[in-house]
Chains A and B, each alone.
Chain A
């Protein structure tokens, strides 16, 4: 098994972040970086589908919401450890990902994107009506009092330890996508992207592999949502609005869908930059203007995203030296 140069850099970065980031972050920044890692994981679920299959999902944050909901419900309803709850959350969200795959058979491009947007809108309404479980009774598990406690993993009780845990799982998520790329699904996806007619003629079960892609995307979103639930011990519906799903996809495009670095950049832009601006006391409305302008600029000038520009920069330097 050969590891490409990009893979080595990626693993190196992951190990570096794992070791150093929790140590240098205080209370505030460890929360910010944990959230960033969760959204990076979710974005990875978007970028691989977009670059390898040409399928657009404008509902990834909504799927994260579902994962977070299951995580919280499991935590408050039973006494299982964190990892089991996370596995259940991931499984349920995978199923929802498969449900989203059904329209994908008949649509592509803008129509598919819009159907996923409708799904995101629907999930937004459900979550804002029934809220997130916080220890109450009944199926929805909501009480108007203070939230019941949340059990973090045994290995990662403190905020810094939890940050390490999340970085580790995010790295595993990227490796999972890479594994898919190298095995049969990756080849099938490449063929489907080229031409579905050719895929059918080659005997590839298009339905099966498209569903697999959506399922994987759902899995990653579910894990990301579950981990996000662990950051605060509770979740708020305003984090999972349909507009947030669109925003995350937009940042995935800005970051660069073809590279793992793109997903990382997207996560950083989505969570670190606004937190930084807020820390500096920048007016919230002006932050919005800056964000929109940066988004517009990046989309118009960098078709391969910021990651593409960075990589081109390095390639040029390597070539010239």
Chain B
């Protein structure tokens, strides 16, 4: 626990030093705006990463389809809005759609793959992602669309940048999720059963864990998070199914920062990725290549966390 805390502290310090280096010499007000803008984007990476890690910790599956599920949910919400359904109802309708898609995979397809290795399980979700993306793109042909939430209209000024309430909701949701999942997985019985399930499905069944119930709940929670993430991506980035689907890759980068395990690290990782990517705009040589920041940070973070480990035995991971 103590080494964990120090590791986290070290990470934050290292990132802060990096930020200062990048922004050296620029006026503080301008830097402040880039930092806030970066945190806004980084919180989206973090949200996506949190969703991925929650499902991974509960089922052992890294879900490449979470972006696609979110894309379908937000397109459905947009469509219902176009048909005149009041705003709150559209979100309440989009979430069950996301849960349904998530459960379809989790109950029908995932159990058949439970004995395969994690990489193959992840690759299978890619197939599911393509199905959903193809369906979504087929139903809603390529057109220019915008998805707005009522919270877009109100905003606060943070360090000279106008931050809409929607962006604040994202950061708040990320923090609530981190605390909530930590409590759920760590302190409740069902959470314990989920973690056992992810660790070894057959052994868990042997000792009496209710596999189907735990899996259903895990995939349903994942569906809710994916749906919510999709709504946020659709509002704050772009309402284009392909773009939202492939945001799963930067989300994986954020998830890697937490080693697919520690949600606080995922949150911090996502935020720092966003901030550094944004701050690199101030560096003329690096600004063209700034979208590479999440990948570099994720790779370095994982390498750092795995330092000193040697893979001697087959079950080492």
By a beta-carbon cutoff of 8 Å, the part of chain A in contact with chain B is: 56, 103, 105-111, 113-115, 117-119, 121-122, 125-126, 129-130, 194-197, 200, 242-243, 246-247, 249-250, 253, 283, 285-296, 299-300, 303
Q: Which residues of B contact A288 (CB under 8 A)?
A: 130-131, 133-134, 137
Interface of A is mostly: helix
Q: In the complex, are the beta carbons of A117 and B249 less than 8 A apart?
A: yes
Q: Which residues of A contact B303 (CB under 8 A)?
A: 103, 106, 115
Distance of A153 from chain B, by nearest CB (Å): 34
Distance of B272 from chain A, by nearest CB (Å): 15
**Known contacts A121-B253, A288-B137, A289-B134: A110-B126 contact under CB 8 Å:** no
Stretch in B13-21, B81-89, B108-116, B192-200 with 4+ CB within 8 Å of A:
B108-116
**Known contacts A288-B134, A296-B131: A114-B256 contact under CB 8 Å:** yes
Q: Which residues of A contact B124 (CB under 8 A)?
A: 295-296, 299-300
Q: In the complex, are the beta carbons of A289 and B135 less than 8 A apart?
A: yes
Q: Which residues of B contact A296 (CB under 8 A)?
A: 109, 124, 127-128, 131
Nearest opposing residue in chain A for B296, CB measure: A122
27 A-B pairs, CB-CB below 8 angstroms?
Answer: A56-B119, A103-B306, A105-B311, A109-B118, A109-B317, A110-B122, A111-B306, A111-B317, A115-B256, A118-B299, A119-B295, A121-B292, A121-B294, A125-B289, A195-B314, A196-B312, A197-B312, A197-B313, A285-B134, A288-B134, A291-B130, A291-B134, A292-B126, A292-B128, A295-B130, A299-B124, A299-B127
| Number of interchain pairs (Cβ within 8 Å) | 149
Q: In the complex, are the beta carbons of A122 and B126 less than 8 A apart?
A: no
Partner of A300, one of B113, B129, B256: B113
Q: Which residues of A contact B116 (CB under 8 A)?
A: 303
**Known contacts A118-B295, A243-B246, A285-B134: A299-B123 contact under CB 8 Å:** yes
Q: Which residues of A contact B288 (CB under 8 A)?
A: 129
Q: Which residues of B contact A126 (CB under 8 A)?
A: 289, 292
Q: In the complex, are the beta carbons of B295 and A110 less than 8 A apart?
A: no
Q: Which residues of B contact A118 (CB under 8 A)?
A: 253, 256, 295-296, 298-299, 302
Q: In the complex, are the beta carbons of A299 and B299 less than 8 A apart?
A: no
